[in-house]
Structure 1
């Protein structure tokens, strides 16, 4: 605490004057003395402690003296110092991805505690809270009320969705009102390269130091052979320590387990053979690590694809790519493609899209391609799990479909799209790309063929909170989503894209008499955890600055209360006379 204006210290003479006045003022009081014999005794009693008796019998004096002392203290303009965060406005960007669950207590809980601590240092300045994700969410905008902000932070939950940090930070920058705004990022780890060019704003990154032990199931696949079902589970140890555990495969009442041992940074494949022919399988990892969200993975065995029908007008490289997958490729004349049913169709005839048969549309026969330049940008989608498009060159693109979902683009123009019926569209001729030279080309064709095959009882694989167009049709138009028999929420046909639940697991999608299985699982990005650090980038020179808070308002309120009490004492004294 400090004093702003010592020049008013001379006003201390006012309460001193009041004290002297009460000490020396004359006040005569009639006192009957029965006899002169008692006169000396009475005078001795009065003179023994005259000043103390005066003080004891003057409540009005105490109140006046207290009010004057507070007035003198207020004229000195007292203040208290408080350390507050640097900046006039704050934006809290909160990472709600699955990796924030790592650790015990979790990184997410630690960051919530840190947010509450920093909130106390904002000094009543406006705070905005933004949650990460494909569609960043603002849960508080320019909020000054501490209780509201604390409640919002306490209610934060992990959404399991990929953070999409770069996209979220671009969104947060649109909320900046002035140059003094500081953006605080609460995450487990954020590469400095993400903020390398953002020097015009102030960033404070709050990371989590220390590498945690983590072993994850990266891939889980099953195939049907003459001897029965076979499975392969890919397990990766990210830590430096050697760890032992077990992998357990289960379906219904059947379960099979295999012991595993992983060295530091080791990756192994665990095979399982002679499995019963069931469609829904779950692989569970039992190991002593510090991140359990990636220790379980579920897969659905779909009907295998044996044949594809390919439009004879397409380049031979398309047929060669499918033949490399050991599929039976049947070349069909363009005017006969609409008669083919029962297997995926590969063509460039847009009129066949959404006609019932699953279609892979490569190019368009109803539009002209335009020249394009730039790198391919892909969204999170199962089609790219095994087939990344990094380094693929495309020279010409056809115009996209307005009603289709874009999952890959070049320079903002659609490259790969999905129709509402599940058809896949590649908006380029194969000969106008160098894609066939990349290993990802046959892998993409394999993923596309499996995506088009589908299943009458399986809706598909989804990532947490993923929004996707799906083919659902019922007489009521309503589908209810359950997990382990518990109702989660409903989806109404035609009310926007289908939204997957946030938590991973197996869900039942029920509509009328239909029951479809749906699997929500983490992306590979959310199966790898990394250690981070705290750092600053941009205009922020320090974390804290000292701010003076005047304590005059409570002093004035207390003086007013004293005056009211003093008036009541004075009024009662007059009434008793």
Structure 2
């Protein structure tokens, strides 16, 4: 504690003058007497009271005296001093991955309080806040206002995605303005080797040394069997003690439960046989551990989509286009193509459209093409989300199929059609167009493969905040995303890549005429808790060693309060006269 303006000590005579004024002030009171004979006696009674007794009846005096004393104290400029942080500006790198939710209270809450304490010790020096992830984000840049810094810290939230700590630290290095910049890293654990090669920069790592209990669902998969659906849940006990647990599988109104016990560091496969033919299931782990984010996982029973069967009679550019998508392309003669195959078929054999296998028909073997000219007119459809057809030249078309939906046409003649069961018919041969010369050709093949091999009711598996191109098309161009009936956000077609939600779970993607499901899964790296430590690498000097905290604002507030009370006392005294 100290005072910054001892020269104002002379103002202490002001409250002293008020005290003297009250000591010698005469007090007059109207008094009716029956005769002047009693005047001297009455005056003696009034003058008999001691000075101290008079002071006890003057609340207004006490309030004025207190206000003056606080004024004198404020003019002296009292303050307290504390040591400031080393460095002239600071960068806070905040780990927002899912493992920061471990512990009670969580690591994330502990780091929040630590950041506030450090910001208060910064003494008005600039503070920058960066969050981790695939795309590190700057929440605050060179901010000196402590209130704004604390507000930004309160708004921090866990994003559940991978920390990508090395990438974030490299990004933080680019924001360093001088050798006196100190980068504070708030995480659970960071290997010293990550910072070993960095010289000329100062780092403060704030980690956690406590060992926590954790049992996680590492994998959850579904497969079709002759008797229904089979589910397998892989559990991993990362604790140093035996952990009892309950595994539940649920889908709609169906639920199955298994009691298990995992020894320390044990991995266990829990099978569930003869499940109903529901496609969307969720596994839940009930266990008394210190980390709950990895205790749930959802899965969807979808057909494989890594192989495709192509008719060898088609132009070789068709097979090349599919190979560019890193698919396993199987070539077969027309007579070897099976209509009941589980793999998608690419052919010009119209007879295969009646089979159970999904078909991409390119051309027709049962009709003769006719000449066409003009631009392609396409409708809103997921196949054309990333494959624009406007500049493609087509010289001839085959007759269309009756009862099929036309999604692209040339001069009123159907060009691309969709069958009632979802087969795709391109009514031309590849050699009759210049389509393979455009980037839209492999993109169309990718969309067609995704449509044929996937499930129209399932959008796919995503990781938290993942950016991905998806085939979505609706008349309104807007899709709303819900979780457990609560609105999450919207996606506008053409506004950029589709961004998955950050919170793992099952979501509904709802368009104007269509509803699909999607699953956001926690990354595998976020299912393992690491034990770390706090340490420093490098050293930065500060331009000042201490930071002052002034009491003047508090004193001014007290003076204003006393003045308000004094006015109320004076008003009540006037009213009772």
- CA deviation vs aligned residue, 1:15-70 (integer Å, no higher than 9, x gap): 9xx9xxx9xxxxxxxxxxxxxxx9xxxxxxx9xx9x99xxxxxxxxxxxx99x999
Secondary structure, counterpart of 2:121 in structure 1:
coil
- The question of 1:190 aligning with 2:190 is answered yes
Whole-angstrom distance in 2 between the partners of 1:70 and 1:469: 66
Whole-angstrom distance in 1 between the partners of 2:138 and 2:533: 25
Shift of 1:330: 3.5
Whole-angstrom distance in 2 between the partners of 1:532 and 1:451: 46
Describe the shift of the 1:479–1:555 C-alpha distance in structure 2 as closer, same or farther (beyond 3 A).
Answer: closer
What is the aligned partner in structure 2 of residue 522 from structure 1? 522
Q: CA RMSD in A?
A: 5.4
What is the aligned partner in structure 1 of residue 241 from structure 2? 241
Q: Which blocks of at least 5 consecutive residues in structure 1 are unaligned?
A: 23-37, 39-45, 53-64, 346-353, 358-400, 405-417, 425-448, 560-577
What is the aligned partner in structure 2 of residue 99 from structure 1? 99
| Among candidates 441, 446, 458, match of residue 423 of structure 1 | 446
Whole-angstrom distance in 2 between the partners of 1:251 and 1:557: 61
Secondary structure, counterpart of 2:81 in structure 1:
strand
Whole-angstrom distance in 2 between the partners of 1:208 and 1:451: 47
Describe the shift of the 1:493–1:111 C-alpha distance in structure 2 as closer, same or farther (beyond 3 A).
Answer: same
What is the aligned partner in structure 2 of residue 287 from structure 1? 287
- The question of 1:258 aligning with 2:265 is answered no
- CA deviation vs aligned residue, 1:259-309 (integer Å, no higher than 9, x gap): 211111111111121112111111111111111111111111113468534
Secondary structure, counterpart of 1:123 in structure 2:
coil
Shift of 1:554: 9.9
Question: TM-score, normalising length from structure 2?
Answer: 0.63
What is the aligned partner in structure 2 of residue 532 from structure 1? 532
Shift of 1:501: 0.9
Q: Which blocks of at least 5 consecutive residues in structure 2 are unaligned?
A: 22-39, 41-46, 53-64, 338-344, 350-357, 362-380, 385-436, 560-577
Comparing 487-496 and 76-85, the one that deviates more: 76-85
Secondary structure, counterpart of 1:423 in structure 2:
helix
- The question of 1:277 aligning with 2:301 is answered no
Whole-angstrom distance in 2 between the partners of 1:524 and 1:114: 28
Describe the shift of the 1:78–1:330 C-alpha distance in structure 2 as closer, same or farther (beyond 3 A).
Answer: same
CA contact (8 A) 1:3 1:79 kept: yes
CA contact (8 A) 1:466 1:499 kept: yes
Secondary structure, counterpart of 2:194 in structure 1:
helix
Whole-angstrom distance in 1 between the partners of 2:153 and 2:514: 40
Whole-angstrom distance in 2 between the partners of 1:451 and 1:269: 33
CA contact (8 A) 1:422 1:452 kept: no
- CA deviation vs aligned residue, 1:157-195 (integer Å, no higher than 9, x gap): 211121111111222222222222211111111111221
Shift of 1:507: 0.8
- The question of 1:501 aligning with 2:524 is answered no
Comparing 229-238 and 297-306, the one that deviates more: 297-306
CA contact (8 A) 2:382 2:472 kept: no
- The question of 1:140 aligning with 2:140 is answered yes
Shift of 1:202: 1.3
CA contact (8 A) 1:213 1:289 kept: yes
Count residues in correspondence: 459
Comparing 264-273 and 493-502, the one that deviates more: 264-273
CA contact (8 A) 1:307 1:343 kept: no
Describe the shift of the 1:127–1:308 C-alpha distance in structure 2 as closer, same or farther (beyond 3 A).
Answer: same
CA contact (8 A) 1:419 1:469 kept: no
Describe the shift of the 1:175–1:482 C-alpha distance in structure 2 as closer, same or farther (beyond 3 A).
Answer: same
- The question of 1:308 aligning with 2:309 is answered yes
Shift of 1:77: 9.3
Describe the shift of the 1:551–1:253 C-alpha distance in structure 2 as closer, same or farther (beyond 3 A).
Answer: closer
Describe the shift of the 1:161–1:117 C-alpha distance in structure 2 as closer, same or farther (beyond 3 A).
Answer: same
Question: TM-score, normalising length from structure 1?
Answer: 0.63
Whole-angstrom distance in 1 between the partners of 2:301 and 2:156: 36
- The question of 1:216 aligning with 2:239 is answered no
Whole-angstrom distance in 2 between the partners of 1:159 and 1:527: 14
Whole-angstrom distance in 1 between the partners of 2:253 and 2:450: 28
- The question of 1:178 aligning with 2:201 is answered no
CA contact (8 A) 1:308 1:344 kept: no
Secondary structure, counterpart of 1:87 in structure 2:
coil
What is the aligned partner in structure 2 of residue 267 from structure 1? 267
Shift of 1:199: 2.4
Whole-angstrom distance in 2 between the partners of 1:487 and 1:71: 56
